[in-house]
């Protein structure tokens, strides 16, 4: 059932009955990718400057996979991000100041400074606040999809995971359940060949993760994850299937992370040549060439996007820097629907009554 | 009023809440067509259909996780774990997801669900059909853990749990299912406070703290001792294991000066450890005697063969014995 | 990669280079099946007579799957049984008196009366004492297979599971790991269409469980699990592959349990017609016809086996009935490599020293 | 003698045991090529090869289960869990398989393995890279749970664990890795008793029971108080959390009459609950004051932002505070 879409095809030519991709959409795909890149490169600089600490996992090099799958989601659709999917929140529309308040662990971040930098959630847009447990978000997103099906609406869920995540039982349980109930969900697996220092060959015997969908009775498709047009088209079909109530799809995006696993990982376990080979397949440069070919690209246009976005970033970072850190005692909040402050801070002492 | 068993109180609570609120649904292994291996969900599939009474694949992790997601999306799931012994595949979903979602999202995302878990021994179930395992969850802030020990609570606490805006784990003791009956008021507004322990028997000589099946044993032991020696034992039913209602048992201790804790779980880090530690910290001056725990011994689980199981489990005799010694201290 | 062997083929005709099955082996397969049936039917009577209590899960109707896969294992090979695989211990050669002492939870059972009736383990023959957790035995058997590979011997492991077990993450993790390391293990999935009251369609979207092997990069094969010759041949190939260091195989045996999930389950969730249809496919009757066709069967021969075996059963049951129950205090033994009796029975009390 | 860090003591122990016994092997995520995310297995892949230092798939359940099977087959596995926070997928393997195999097989089948688990907070790891989670396993008879707090123990207890004929979970605190150094004797026979607590500092006024990173804080607090007030605090390092060595801390309590328990895990059913409960049962007459627990508060996990983390964690100041109050009781 696994099929492959591997070459950049002419996006204008409709396949499988999917409609033409408009020029505006093509430009939006590019613009969003370059914003994601700019956002994360800025975050990396801020990390190096110790403006924030903790774990951050950049998706630089993988933007096509995130943008192509998340760009057209509705507010009501749910995203279940993994650790490397900070940018999916941005793509879905989260305000930049919220995102930087989060990175800087400020009191006014959506999670009030509780979660790690990489774990950005945003309730107003139905972005699930991630936990670290790999693959757990797939199961939770599956539950959201179950609720959408029960509510008979056509909202969907998109859940992200990496190649490494496919080894965990949770991954399997989610896909199996979604398959049994034909749930409106799209599983996006970003196969970047590495799980920290572990190469795919020690993760699983199969080179194409999409074949695993066969075990669950729904389509699995491998797509060049650095080709945003291909990813977008495949995603559109999967999303449409899900909205029509025809069940899940597993999309494997073959891609590559440019940097270490997190900002403190020099990634010496990788052959520098492999890194160079993949950098040459930069999804942004590829899309630039593609747009150029269609006369949709100019250096000024690009510069305009980058400059404008950098200003937005400056403003957001400024807000985050000005924002206060939480008070220590707030650590006691949001444990339950009721407060436990009093119980912890003022334990009663009992005297004999008799 | 009607005379009902513990298990039919559960079924009734589920039925009433499902009728009352269409967001409530059930998911678990064998809960649908079969009505549950103990028949706790009997008749609900027929009344509410396969959409609201879902026979899940054999995967506790996804039973709980799907419930978490559905709860985030506004439904009110009541997942079931067939035996507490099989809750391990859901350990991440419970402790890392459900318990921490509200906290990690700064209160912006929540998953109010009610997980029913069948637990406990004494029915010849052996190592893997008798476990308690409440400690794993009583130790996790963010989870509410309740363990009703009476028929009224079986009903009222389940209904309250379903309406509660937090993830609740509801531990139901399989030996209670058909061994106790109570008269219950009819009507669907029979909801109990989830967060308060209860004094089930008043007394001035000794505070006996317990929950679940051993509540029944403890009450019998207290009656027996009263009949034989006139001793007045106050029996406190914990009801909620997380967050603990300390005040009820500490107030009782302030009155009696002596505390015996009885539970079926083994000793080390069973809930009795926390009760004793709280008492030794917050009511030290009330103590006239050591705080004694009567529990199962520290072995991996309830062994199958009858004499082994008997040796393992608390009993009325063992309770009388321990209480008598403590009274004579 | 999943292939199917569904019809009874002439066992004498070698396929895929596997050798002829000897007449003696054919007769042994039959004799072992009928012994398994006799053993379990006796156990069921004893249960109804309250000679023992607890959970017992009869494999009646599924004998071909167990016998065909376990009959030729060596002492050094390991079996990882699930709850319905009591008979695999017998097939591997466990003494009947040990098995009945186990059912009766006697002091002299291999586990000294600790485990449930269905959970028979036997260390001298490398039969892993089961836990109830579904699919857990697959992972442990996988570890044994890893050890065998590391020790560079050609012993293998055979791990049993049911259709329901395939939904659990543990099932997936075991197969994936075995695939990555080409471990010497055979996974036997007895697909009897039901997991307690849950039909296969609510368990997984795919009708053939063997397709799931594709996710792990090794062969999956569906075989008529009521055809002992077919099962045996498929198993022989899988076992030989494993011994040669060529990695795991998933064998799906399509079969059916005749009775309830356990002895207390009336199994009303099944259509009586379905039960009858499958009873008509009785693996023992089928093999009887097959042997008859080859002139290898006679009613006297069969009666001789059954009578002889019934005597063995009588003797074993007699031993078990005569055997003592454990002493209660033995509940404190075998927790650690050292004794904890003293620590539990005689806790010290401390007095002030100051 | 050589001055070594806690983490290099771990590496050395592994290297020595692997040289000594070819049945010893390592399996875990990133333990091979990378030498572990904290570099605890650095150099071992180079010395012993991919067969004995196995980079596993991302699946903690199979890491532990494969070790169980390999141990049954006679090898000596030393699996690793990268962060205690990620131990949930191995919950079944640990509590239902490893802990119960010997018991359920009547002693005929065993799985001696040593699971190394990196745990603890205070390094800005946030909710999911700081957890303790020792309670889940300290509560399970059949498992040995140790948590070395010194460099010598990091080495000696790991070697002892590998040679021990039981499943051992070895909890190593990530904040200790590079923050403490000790002179250690060379040679491969440096093996420590796994089952005894240790008095790290003698004193007659108060018994402070702790383990792991808070041992360091407690020793500092004790020195500080001694310098400032002359108070003599006896510091007991638990070392083993299951089965507990009660005698060491009860003997100390018999001498001092006062007990303060300090740990980083949150309060409810942290190991301190069991210590306090044992003391209140077995050494009641020794008690001159309430048994006090200084722990993290009952919230789901260590929050990320620095002020929140600081509020959460025990510190020298908090210990001095609690000890002073208790001395003045
Ligand atoms: C259950 C669990 N085990 C281990 C980890 C530690 N960990 C975090 S990310 C990661 C690798 C993930 O690899 P992959 O799924 O390929 O995603 P990528 O980092 O390549 O995007 C690991 C092992 C974890 N977070 N959860
Ligand atoms: C983790 C876990 N969950 C639930 C159970 C309860 N249970 C025991 S057997 C069974 C059904 C197993 O079905 P299948 O794998 O098809 O095997 P079969 O009984 O058909 O042989 C269930 C749900 C269990 N033992 N372990
Ligand atoms: Mg990856
Ligand atoms: Mg089945």
Residue C170: list chain B partners with CB under 8 A. Answer: 89
E strand or H helix that includes residue C103: helix C96-103
Assess whether the C-beta atom of A192 lies below 6 angstroms from ligand 1.
Answer: yes
| Sheet bearing D233-237, strands edge to edge | D198-201, D233-237, D206-210, D259-266, D292-296
Q: Does position B230 have pLDDT exceeding 70, yes or no? A: yes
Give the pLDDT of residue A4.
62
Of C113, C139, C353, the CB nearest to D66: C139
**How much is the pLDDT for A3?**
57
- Give the CA radius of gyration of chain C: 21
In a domain, C152, yes or no: yes
- B220 has which bridge partners? none
3-state DSSP assignment of residue A160: strand
Torsion angle of C-alpha atoms B115, B116, B121, B127, degrees rounded to 10 = -50
Mean pLDDT to the nearest integer, B123-149: 97
In-domain check, residue C350: no
C164 CA to centre of ligand 2 in angstroms: 6
Nearest-angstrom CA–CA distance, C162 and C80: 12
List of chain C residues whose C-beta atoms are within 8 Å of the C-beta of residue B297: 331-332, 344
What is the four-CA torsion angle of C294, C299, C304, C306, rounded to 10 degrees? 100
State yes or no: is C261 an active-site residue: yes
Among C83, C199, C202, C258, the mutation site with the greatest number of ligand 2 atoms within 8 A of its Cβ is C83
Q: Are B123 and B130 in contact (CB under 8 A)?
A: yes
| Partner A, chain B 139-168, Cβ-Cβ below 8 Å | 141-142, 144, 164-166
| Ligand 1 midpoint to CA A134 (Å) | 6
Residues with CB under 5 A from ligand 4 (ion): C 162-164, 192, 195
Q: Judge if the beta carbon of residue A119 lies within 6 A of ligand 1.
A: no
Residue (of D161, D293, D294) closest to D240 by Cα position: D161
Contact B311 C105 (CB under 8 A): no
As a whole number of angstroms, the distance between CA C39 and CA C95 comes to 12
Residues of chain A with pLDDT under 70: 1-19
For testing contact with chain A, the best of D34, D35, D294, D308 (most A CBs within 10 A): D308
- Say yes or no to pLDDT of C93 above 90: yes
What does D84-144 look like in DSSP terms, one character per residue?
A: GGG-GGGHIIIIIIIHHHHHHTTTS-----EEEEEE--SSS--TTSS----HHHHT-TT-E
C-alpha B17/C-alpha C276 separation (Å) is: 40
Token pair for B38? 């103990």
Q: Place C9 in a pLDDT band, splitting at 50, 70 and 90.
A: very low
Instruction: Please report which confidence band the pLDDT of residue C8 belongs to, taking 50, 70 and 90 as the band edges.
Output: very low
Q: Give the number of beta-carbon pairs within 8 Å between A and C.
A: 78
Q: Taking Cα atoms as reference points, which of C233, C309, C251, C281 lies closest to residue C25?
A: C233
Question: Could you give the CA distance from residue C171 to residue C157 in angstroms, rounded to a whole number?
Answer: 15
Q: Using CB atoms, which residue from D33, D62, D128 is nearest to A132?
A: D128
Sheet with A78-80, strands from edge to edge, namely: A3-5, A220-224, A249-254, A185-191, A157-162, A78-80
Contacts of A200 (CB under 8 A, 6+ apart): A163, A191, A193, A194, A207
**Helix, strand, coil shares, percent, chain A, to 5:** 45, 10, 45
Q: Which residues contact A340 (CB under 8 A, 6 or more apart)?
A: A332, B141, B243, D298, D299
Rg (CA), chain B: 19
- C194 bridge partner residues: C199
CB-nearest to A176 from C167, C214, C217 is C167
- The answer to whether residue B220 scores a pLDDT higher than 80 is yes
Q: CA nearest A142: which of D21, B212, B56?
A: B56
Instruction: Please report whether residue A39 resides in a domain.
Output: yes
Does A165 sit in the ligand 1 pocket, CB within 6 Å?
yes
**Half-sphere exposure (CA, 13 Å, Cβ side) for B275?**
35
Best probe of the A interface among C2, C172, C174, by most A CBs < 10 A, is C172
Contact partners for chain D, using 3 or more CB pairs closer than 8 A, are: A, B, C
State the Cα–Cα distance between residues D106 and D100, nearest whole angstrom.
10
What mean pLDDT, rounded, does chain C reach? 95
In this structure, how many other beta carbons lie within 10 angstroms of the beta carbon of residue C27? 17
The total of other beta-carbon atoms located within 10 Å of residue D1's CB is 8
Whole-angstrom distance, CA of residue C173 vs CA of residue C141 = 12
Would the CB atoms of B62 and A141 count as touching at under 8 Å? no
Contact C352 D165 (CB under 8 A): no
pLDDT category at D89 given cuts 50, 70, 90 is: very high
Contact B66, A177 (CB under 8 A): yes
Tens-place pLDDT, residues C236-284: 999 999 999 999 999 999 999 999 999 999 999 999 999 999 999 999 9
Active site residue C106: no
Angle at D155 between CA D153 and CA D156, to 5 degrees: 65
Q: Searching chain C, which residue's CA lies closest to the CA of residue D285?
A: C351
pLDDT for residue C19:
66
- B323 token code pair: 């209480």
Q: Would an 8 Å CB–CB cutoff place C268 in contact with chain A?
A: no
- What does the pLDDT read at residue C289? 98
Q: Cis link prior to C233 (omega < 30° from 0)? A: no
- Give me the domain span that covers residue A286: 4-327
Q: How far is C58 from chain B (nearest CA, A)?
A: 17
CA-to-CA separations, B174 to A12, B152, B217, in angstroms, rounded: 64, 16, 15
Tell me how far the alpha carbon of residue A192 lies from the centroid of ligand 3, in angstroms: 5
Phi, psi of D80 (to 5 degrees): -130, 140
For residues A188 and A205, give the distance between their C-alpha atoms in angstroms, rounded to a whole number.
20
Q: Is D86 in the pocket of ligand 1 (CB under 6 A)?
A: yes
What is residue C326's DSSP assignment?
P
Pocket of ligand 2 (CB under 6 A): B 29, 58, 60, 82, 86, 89; C 83-84, 132-134, 162-165, 190, 192, 194-196, 261
Q: What tokens were used for D40?
A: 């605890």
| CB-based contact B154:B13 (threshold 8 Å) | yes
* Rounded Cα gap, residues B237 and B315, in angstroms: 17
| Ligand 1 center from residue C215 Cα (angstroms) | 20
- Does the structure show a pLDDT above 50 at B221? yes
List pLDDT tens digits, range C41-67.
999 999 999 999 999 999 999 999 999
Answer for the pair D75, C148: CB distance below 8 angstroms, yes or no: no
Euclidean distance between CA atoms B172 and B149, whole angstroms = 8
Helices (H), D83-212: 91, 99-104, 135-138, 151-163
pLDDT in tens, C133-190: 999 999 999 999 999 999 999 999 999 999 999 999 999 999 999 999 999 999 999 9
Mean pLDDT, to the nearest integer, of D22-43?
Answer: 97
Q: How far is CA C27 from CA A214, C9, C69, C70, D139, in A?
A: 39, 17, 15, 15, 52
In a 3-state reduction of DSSP, which class is residue A109? coil
Task: Give the relative orientation of helices B246-256 and B271-282 as an angle to the nearest 10 degrees.
Answer: 60
Q: Whole-angstrom Cα distance, residue D280 to residue D288?
A: 11
- Average pLDDT value for residue range D59-82: 98
Q: Let me know if residue C231 belongs to a domain.
A: yes
Pairing of strands B259-266, B206-210: parallel
Question: β-strands C249-254, C185-191: how paired?
Answer: parallel
Q: Look at chain C and report how many structural domains it folds into.
A: 1
In angstroms, the first-to-last Cα distance of chain C is 76
Q: What is the mean pLDDT of residues D284-304?
A: 98
Residue numbers of D annotated as active site: 129
Q: How far is it between the farthest Cα atoms of chain D?
A: 59
The pLDDT assigned to D189 comes to 78
Q: Residue D268 to residues A276, B209, D273: CA-CA distances in angstroms?
A: 52, 17, 7
Classify residue D181 as left (phi > 0), alpha (psi -120 to 50) or beta. Answer: beta
CA distance A146 to C181: 36
Position C7 scores a pLDDT of 44
Would A341 be classed as within a structural domain?
A: no
Query: Residue C279: enclosing H or E segment and its boundaries?
Result: helix C272-279
Instruction: Say what the pLDDT of residue B1 is.
Output: 79
pLDDT at C12: 44
Query: Residue C186 C-alpha to ligand 4 middle, in angstroms?
Result: 18
Structural domains of chain B, ranges and CATH numbers in brackets: 2-184 (3.40.50.970), 198-327 (3.40.50.920)
Asked if residue A333 is part of any domain, the answer here is no
Q: Pick the more confident residue, C12 or C130.
A: C130
Strands D292-296 and D259-266: parallel
Burial code (b: 16+ CB inside 10 Å, e: under 16) for C320-339 equals beebeebebebbbbbbbeee
C-alpha closest to that of C43 among C34, C35, C31, C52? C52
Is residue A71 assigned to a domain? yes
Mutate to test the interface with C, among A172, A191, A198 (most CBs of C within 10 A): A172
Residue D210's nearest CA partner among D167, D255, D150 is D150
C-alpha of B49 from chain center: 28
Q: Is residue C98 part of a domain?
A: yes
Q: Which of B129, B173, B263, B266 is labelled catalytic?
A: B129
**More confident of the two residues C110 and D2:** C110
The token duo for C353 is: 């020293």
Per-residue pLDDT of D123-180, as tens digits, reads 999 999 999 999 999 999 999 999 999 999 999 999 999 999 999 999 999 999 999 9
CATH of the domain at C52: 3.40.50.970
In 3D, which of B65, B42, B235 has the Cα closest to residue B149? B235
Q: Using N-to-C axis directions, what is the helix angle for A63-70 and A283-293, rounded to 10°?
A: 60
Q: How far apart are CA C99 and CA C121, in angstroms?
A: 9
Residue A117 CA to residue C339 CA, distance in Å, equals 49
Catalytic residue among A84, A106, A119, A261: A261
Nearest-CB residue to A136 (from B97, B243, B257): B97
CB C2 within 8 A of CB C213: yes
Considering chain B, what is the average pLDDT of its residues? 97
Q: How far is C178 from chain A (nearest CA, A)?
A: 9
What is the percentage of chain B residues whose pLDDT exceeds 70? 100
């Amino acid at each position: 059932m696994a099929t492959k879409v591997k070459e950049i095809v002419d996006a204008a030519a409709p396949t499988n009955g999917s409609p033409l991709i408009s020029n505006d959409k093509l430009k939006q795909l590019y613009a969003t990718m370059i914003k994601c890149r700019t956002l994360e490169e800025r975050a990396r600089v801020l990390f190096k400057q110790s403006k924030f600490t903790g774990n951050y996992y950049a998706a630089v090099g993988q933007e096509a996979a995130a943008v192509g799958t998340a760009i057209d989601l509705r507010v009501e659709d749910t995203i279940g991000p993994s650790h490397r999917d900070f940018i999916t929140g941005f793509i879905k529309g989260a305000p930049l100041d919220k995102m930087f308040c989060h990175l800087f662990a400020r009191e006014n971040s959506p999670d009030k400074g509780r979660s790690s930098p990489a774990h950005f959630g945003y309730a107003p847009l139905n972005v699930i606040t991630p936990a670290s447990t790999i693959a757990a978000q797939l199961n939770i997103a599956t539950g959201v999809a179950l609720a959408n099906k029960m509510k008979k609406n056509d909202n969907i869920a998109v859940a992200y995971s990496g190649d490494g995540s496919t080894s965990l039982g949770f991954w399997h349980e989610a896909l199996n359940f979604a398959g049994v109930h034909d749930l409106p969900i799209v599983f996006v697996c970003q196969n970047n060949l590495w799980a920290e220092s572990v190469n795919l060959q020690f993760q699983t015997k199969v080179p194409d993760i999409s074949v695993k969908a066969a075990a669950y009775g729904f389509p699995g498709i491998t797509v060049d994850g650095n080709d945003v047009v291909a990813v977008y088209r495949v995603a559109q079909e999967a999303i449409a299937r899900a909205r029509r109530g025809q069940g899940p799809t597993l999309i494997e995006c073959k891609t590559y992370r440019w940097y270490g696993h997190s900002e403190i990982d020099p990634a010496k376990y990788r052959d520098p040549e492999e890194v160079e080979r993949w950098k040459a397949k930069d999804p942004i440069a590829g899309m630039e060439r593609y747009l150029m070919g269609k006369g949709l690209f100019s250096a000024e246009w690009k510069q305009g996007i980058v400059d404008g976005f950098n200003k937005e970033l400056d403003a957001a970072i400024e807000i985050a820097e000005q924002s206060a850190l939480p008070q220590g005692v707030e650590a006691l909040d949001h444990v339950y629907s009721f407060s436990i402050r009093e119980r912890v801070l003022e334990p009663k002492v009992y005297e004999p009554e008799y | 009023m009607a005379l009902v068993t513990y298990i039919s109180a559960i079924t009734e609570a589920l039925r009433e809440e499902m009728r009352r609120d269409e967001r409530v649904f059930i998911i678990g292994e064998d809960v649908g067509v079969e009505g549950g291996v103990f028949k706790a969900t009997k008749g609900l599939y027929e009344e509410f259909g396969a959409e609201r009474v879902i026979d899940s694949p054999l995967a506790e992790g996804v039973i709980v996780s799907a419930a978490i997601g559905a709860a985030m999306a506004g439904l009110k799931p009541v997942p079931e774990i067939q035996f507490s012994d099989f809750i391990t595949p859901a350990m991440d979903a419970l402790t890392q997801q459900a318990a921490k979602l509200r906290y990690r999202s700064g209160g912006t995302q929540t998953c109010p669900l009610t997980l029913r878990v069948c637990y406990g021994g004494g029915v010849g179930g052996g190592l893997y059909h008798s476990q308690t395992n409440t400690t794993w969850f009583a130790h996790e802030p963010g989870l509410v853990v309740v363990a009703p020990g009476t028929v009224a609570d079986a009903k009222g606490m389940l209904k309250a749990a379903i309406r509660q805006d937090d993830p609740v784990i509801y531990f139901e003791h399989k030996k209670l299912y058909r061994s106790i009956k109570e008269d219950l008021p009819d009507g669907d507004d029979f909801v109990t406070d989830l967060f308060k322990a209860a004094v089930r028997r008043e007394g001035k000589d000794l505070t006996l703290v317990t929950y679940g099946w051993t509540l029944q044993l403890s009450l019998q032991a207290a009656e027996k001792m009263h009949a034989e020696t006139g001793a007045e034992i106050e029996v406190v039913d914990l009801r909620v294991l997380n967050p603990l209602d300390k005040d009820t048992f500490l107030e009782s201790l302030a009155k009696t000066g002596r505390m015996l804790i009885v539970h079926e779980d083994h000793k080390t880090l069973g809930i009795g450890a926390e009760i004793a530690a709280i008492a030794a910290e917050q009511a030290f001056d009330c103590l006239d005697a050591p705080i004694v725990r009567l529990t199962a011994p520290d072995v991996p689980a309830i062994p199958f063969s009858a004499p082994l199981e008997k040796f393992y489990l608390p009993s009325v005799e063992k309770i009388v014995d321990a209480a008598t010694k403590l009274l004579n201290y």
